[in-house]
């Protein structure tokens, strides 16, 4: 089991009883490469949450695009990095 998953399990645990179709559980186990149902569900939920955060960030950027300062230049940034 991935150490990040073990850390998450060790920190806070919520025992859940859920009615999930067997076929879906088997598919998630195969797709995640997990050896247990718990591990596969944790991986799937982490992936889902990550994708949702990314989608919301993209939507926010679309509503309010990033803008650069007028004096921004990639050449200037590279020069500043070299000086550090």
Q: Alpha-carbon Rg of the chain, whole angstroms? A: 21
Contacts of 44 (CB under 8 A, 6+ apart): 28, 31, 32
Q: In tens digits, what is the pLDDT along the chain, a chain of 84 residues?
A: 566 666 666 667 888 899 999 999 999 999 999 999 999 999 999 999 999 999 999 999 999 988 888 888 888 889 888 987
Instruction: Give the pLDDT confidence score for residue 7 in this predicted structure.
Output: 65
Instruction: Give the pLDDT confidence score for residue 84 in this predicted structure.
Output: 76
Number of domains in the chain: 1
The residue segments making up the domain with residue 71 are 3-83
pTM of full prediction above 0.85: no
Alpha helices in 12-73 (DSSP H): 22-32, 37-63
């Amino acid at each position: 089991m991935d150490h990040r998953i073990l850390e998450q399990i060790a920190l806070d645990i919520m025992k859940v009883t859920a009615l999930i179709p067997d076929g879906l559980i088997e598919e998630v186990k195969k797709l995640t490469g997990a050896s247990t149902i718990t591990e596969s569900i944790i991986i799937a939920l982490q992936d889902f949450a990550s994708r949702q955060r990314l989608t919301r960030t993209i939507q926010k950027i679309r509503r309010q695009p990033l803008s650069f300062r007028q004096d921004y230049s990639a050449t200037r940034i590279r020069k500043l990095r070299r000086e550090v």
